[in-house]
Chain A
Amino acid sequence: MAKNDLQGTLDLLVLKTLAQMGELHGYGIVLHIQRASDELLRVEEGSLYPALHRMEQSGWIASTWALTETNRRAKYYKLTAVGKKQLQEAEKSFEHLVKGVRAVLRHA
């Protein structure tokens, strides 16, 4: 992802990814965001995990250890009820933001 990321966008992307894909591990989230954005967004892998941990602390996501297709132990995250609500709010405020930014850009 671009360095000048907007505050909270990473959270939104992670929540949306989990909403669409159900359970996913950290690496899977990175890959999904990359693919879904047509390689436009690249999540900085090191900063993903503190965010995941923080969201888990806030109760937005829950985690379990499970085996991947290649028989590797990995931590899988999924959205909780609280997380779903958070996602709706985050989407709404992002739409606002985009509308606002777009309006300013048009004006210029």
Chain B
Amino acid sequence: MSLLRRISNLWLRSCVDREIDEELRSHIEMRTEDNIASGMLPEQARRDAVLRFGNPVATKESVVGADAALMLEGMWRDLRYALRQLWKNPGFSLTAIVVLVLGIAASVAIFAFVDAVLIKPLPYQNPKQIVGLFESTPLGQRFHLSYLDYLDWKRQNHVFSAMEAYDIQAISLRTPAGTEFAFGATVTAGFFRALGVTPALGRDFRAGEDVANGPRVVMLSYGTWQNRYGGRADLVGQTISLSGSPYEVVGVLPQGFHFAPVGTTEFWTPVQISLDPNGRGEHGLLGIARLKDGVTLQQAAGDVSAIAARLEKQYPDSNGGRGATVIPLTEQIIGNLRPILLLLLSGALLLLLTACVNVSGLLLVRSEGRRHEMAVRGALGASRARLMQQFVIEGCVLVGIAGLLGVGLASGVVRVLRLLIPTNMLAEMPYLDGLGLNLHVFLFAGAVVLLAAVLSSMLPLLRLSLTDLRDGLMEGGRGGAKAVWRHLGSNLVVVELCVAMVLLVGAGLLGKSFYRLLHVDIGMQPERLATMRVRAPYASYGKNEQQVALARRVTDEVSRLPGVESVAVAHQIPVSNVAGGNTSFLVIGRPENSSANNEANSRNVSAEYFKTIQARLVKGRYFTEDEDATKPRVAIVNEEFVRRFFPGEEVLGRQMRYDMSTPVMEIVGIVGDLREGPLDGEATPAIYTPFNQEPDTTFYVMARTAQAPQGLLKPMEATVKRIDPNILQLTAETMEDRIGSSQSSYLHRSSAWLVGGFALTALLLGMVGLYGVIAYSVSQRTKEIGVRMALGAQRSSVYGLILHEAGKLMTAGIGAGLVCSIGAATLMRKLLFGTAPWDVMTLAGVAAGLAVAAMLASYLPARRAASIDPVEALRAE
């Protein structure tokens, strides 16, 4: 039979059927004729022919079964049959599909993020070889490198094939719309070669361009070249103006290149730092390096630490207490996202599992209802494999439809989730640019759908293969199969309740962490506080007096705005993603070498600062407005500083200095700890000094208002613009927004919301599952309940009977869930803030809530059971 004919058979089954029929019929008729010819009566002759032939329907089935091409035809028929079945039971189909769509969409959407963040390699050559380098200090592991330390590390190491440094740079750009702020970065000359990135256009930086007073050259990101300069090929070689100075464009970086630690950088220039031998204490660089082939991270860390130890001995003043930190670059970029993404992915997969379990249960219930149909088809000659095929196809149709819808929904969800990420955070996550449904995600979606199909059709299959098909032919047969299903179904509900419990507890703990995080004592009053960060051009405000005058003028004019109660400026303000800006210091009267571990955050703030943010003064006094460079140097420290460096000592009046080159400062006050770093970080020691004594061109303006602070942002911006249109305005936000959109609160909030969503869905699924099992059980026990009631059982005892059954399942599910959720919560311990994994309130609350929900789900079938009419129930059998 030709292939063409086989294929045409797919569509011509009826034609093939007719042929087989006719062939068999002519056979029987020829036999009948022969029988008559040999002397039988016509009636007898026909009977003999048919008897010899056997069951023609069964024969036809097995003839068709022999046709390989017709197996496809059979699948096609099953497919149409399955679709018809689904169409005829819209309630069942809709429930199953919605349930699966939710599970599939959630896991695929989360996986898209996992893929973009954790799986897709960074766009560099052999990204696994690239490490991030930091100096460690007593305050923590990851602090900036000083340029001189960087040069020594680079010269002395034996483990890196390349070592480079970079720093972030704010650039002011003159555009037709006015002065604009742009992200820039300065890098050492070999930076891009170390990453293994070649420019798309022009050339890379040359060795020797990264020296003090080197040539002013710039490389552009691909996006900048396209958006700002229209992708002109002749741009290379031309001169553009950055922050008021001319730079020659030498190259354009390739499309898709990004370097997350500096965000979405538009302009790349070579670092040009002077080799001042006293500058070893100036920490402003971050490092990357490429490991030599075969060198492990541990070896590299050991080598660099040895160098740091040598430098510590050599330069005890500047390098005391400084070690080295080497971590994989991927870890540096996505380290804090990994646990959250894995948590969300597990949540989504648990949800998918519940969905599959539910659909499996639904299919099982339906297979029960179709026992008779199956038995008849089996008796008519359909093989067991053929019947199983029918089930598998039905499961696949369901999952297939749900898979298509789920992937579509996932693509929408991914887009929405991306929109929900604050823009400033998105800038720090350039790897999310490639977020979307790519090949990886489709493969994952395929795997998920396959898994769902297997899970969903496995139970009915198992059930079909365990039982004798002929059982179903006996009317009202109460075979062992029902017990099997009740047993299985009950176990499934226990699993569902357990999963729901785990997810609810997870969501509860994350929600509580988030609440704790937002209500953590940050040492100030964030309400009605507007903040704005400005950056004055160094050319016009290079001198300290100019900076002090500018800050005074801004403060004066902003304080005249309506509703403003007080105004302050500060070089850095609380709640930042990193508690950077730290300094080492010496305490006067203590031996010098004891300064090794003296590290604290340093903050320059104006006199009104603590009053404006309403910090708590523990002892001493605040700064005064006239404390400037002409007056003796003073400082205020926080309580953590006292705890760490002056335990049990009088602090007021003590003197200290940053190093031997800086003036002596007297401690005049102690304030309560302000949360300088992330909300979920530890309190860090801090030194506050008067802005007027250590001014800067970049500073925050903070204003406390009588009304809503949002209304003040625009007038503040306008005021600064009026004072000098060349001043860059970097950010303007209310303090509450700053807290709410900080990285730590964003991560906590989004994971709490997402896991909460999963948990509610799982709860719903668990309730549907429990309802299904109890309802099924009631329907199977109609007769029994009828008999009980006929014999005088009260409605209340019928309720008791059903609710007792539900209660057993619920107890088992919640009990198992309790154990599993403590285990799961212990695994996600790192994500919790101020909340223990075995938080009794959460566990008890969730268990109680789940119990109520479960009892509600079983109440409906119980009510139906109690309203059974005994006469009807007994007659029905």
Q: In the complex, which residues of chain A have a beta carbon less than 8 angstroms from the beta carbon of B22?
A: 73, 75
Decide yes or no whether B737 CB sits under 8 A from chain A.
no
> What DSSP secondary structure best describes chain A's contact surface?
helix
Q: In whole Å, how far is A84's beta carbon from the nearest beta carbon of chain B?
A: 18
Binary CB contact string for chain B from 366 to 378 against chain A (1 if under 8 A, 0 otherwise): 0000000000000
CB–CB A72/B30 < 8 A: yes
Q: In the complex, which residues of chain B have a beta carbon less than 8 angstroms from the beta carbon of A8?
A: none
CA distance A50 to B812 in the complex (A): 54
Q: In whole Å, how far is B563's beta carbon from the nearest beta carbon of chain A?
A: 90
- Nearest A residue to B30 via CB reads A27
Decide yes or no whether A56 CB sits under 8 A from chain B.
yes
CB–CB B67/A53 < 8 A: yes
CB contact between B30 and one of A54, A57, A59, A74 (< 8 Å): that residue: A74
Q: In whole Å, how far is A17's beta carbon from the nearest beta carbon of chain B?
A: 15
Binary CB contact string for chain A from 44 to 57 against chain B (1 if under 8 A, 0 otherwise): 11110111011011
CB–CB A73/B26 < 8 A: yes
Q: In the complex, which residues of chain B have a beta carbon less than 8 angstroms from the beta carbon of A7?
A: none
Report if A57-B23 is in contact (Cβ < 8 Å); known contacts: A44-B54, A46-B53: no
What is the interface residue range for chain A against chain B?
20 to 34
Q: In the complex, which residues of chain A have a beta carbon less than 8 angstroms from the beta carbon of B807?
A: none
Decide yes or no whether A70 CB sits under 8 A from chain B.
yes
Q: In the complex, which residues of chain A have a beta carbon less than 8 angstroms from the beta carbon of B65?
A: 50
Of the listed residues A25, A45, A54, the one surrounded by the most CB atoms of chain B closer than 10 A to its CB is A45
Decide yes or no whether A68 CB sits under 8 A from chain B.
yes
CA distance A70 to B52 in the complex (A): 22
CA distance A95 to B27 in the complex (A): 32
CA distance A107 to B314 in the complex (A): 100
Report if A46-B66 is in contact (Cβ < 8 Å); known contacts: A26-B27, A59-B1, A73-B26: no
Q: In the complex, which residues of chain A have a beta carbon less than 8 angstroms from the beta carbon of B1?
A: 56-57, 59
Interface residues of B (CB under 8 A from A): 1, 19-20, 22-24, 26-27, 29-31, 33, 52-56, 58-59, 62-63, 65-68
CA distance A56 to B22 in the complex (A): 17
Report if A74-B62 is in contact (Cβ < 8 Å); known contacts: A45-B54, A56-B1, A57-B68: no
Besides A49-B24, A49-B27, A70-B33, 5 more A-B contacts (Cβ < 8 Å) are: A25-B30, A27-B26, A47-B62, A50-B62, A72-B30
> What DSSP secondary structure best describes chain B's contact surface?
helix
Q: In whole Å, how far is A6's beta carbon from the nearest beta carbon of chain B?
A: 20
Q: In the complex, which residues of chain A have a beta carbon less than 8 angstroms from the beta carbon of B53?
A: 45-46
Q: In the complex, which residues of chain B have a beta carbon less than 8 angstroms from the beta carbon of A53?
A: 20, 63, 66-67
- Nearest B residue to A44 via CB reads B54
CB–CB A50/B59 < 8 A: yes
CB contact between A46 and one of B26, B31, B33, B54 (< 8 Å): that residue: B54
Q: In the complex, which residues of chain B have a beta carbon less than 8 angstroms from the beta carbon of A57?
A: 1, 66-68
Report if A50-B66 is in contact (Cβ < 8 Å); known contacts: A27-B31, A56-B1, A68-B30: yes
Report if A50-B63 is in contact (Cβ < 8 Å); known contacts: A45-B52, A45-B54: yes
CB–CB A27/B27 < 8 A: yes
**28 A-B pairs (CB sep. < 8 Å):** A25-B26, A25-B27, A26-B23, A27-B26, A27-B31, A45-B27, A45-B31, A45-B52, A46-B54, A46-B55, A46-B56, A49-B23, A49-B24, A50-B62, A50-B66, A51-B66, A53-B20, A53-B63, A53-B67, A54-B66, A57-B1, A57-B68, A70-B33, A72-B26, A72-B29, A73-B22, A75-B23, A75-B26
Binary CB contact string for chain A from 82 to 95 against chain B (1 if under 8 A, 0 otherwise): 00000000000000
Interface residues of A in 55-82 (CB under 8 A from B): 56-57, 59, 68, 70, 72-75
Interface residues of A in 31-54 (CB under 8 A from B): 44-47, 49-51, 53-54
CA distance A72 to B63 in the complex (A): 22
Q: In whole Å, how far is A97's beta carbon from the nearest beta carbon of chain B?
A: 24
Q: In the complex, which residues of chain A have a beta carbon less than 8 angstroms from the beta carbon of B62?
A: 47, 50
CA distance A73 to B18 in the complex (A): 13
Q: In whole Å, how far is A71's beta carbon from the nearest beta carbon of chain B?
A: 11
Q: In the complex, which residues of chain A have a beta carbon less than 8 angstroms from the beta carbon of B24?
A: 49
CA distance A26 to B26 in the complex (A): 9
CA distance A12 to B22 in the complex (A): 25
Q: In the complex, which residues of chain B have a beta carbon less than 8 angstroms from the beta carbon of A26?
A: 23, 27
Question: What are the 6 A-B residue pairs with the smallest beta carbon separation, nearest first?
Answer: A46-B54, A54-B66, A50-B62, A27-B30, A46-B59, A53-B66
Q: In the complex, which residues of chain B have a beta carbon less than 8 angstroms from the beta carbon of A68?
A: 26, 30
Q: In whole Å, how far is B309's beta carbon from the nearest beta carbon of chain A?
A: 80
CB–CB A49/B20 < 8 A: yes
Q: In the complex, which residues of chain B have a beta carbon less than 8 angstroms from the beta carbon of A74?
A: 23, 26-27, 30
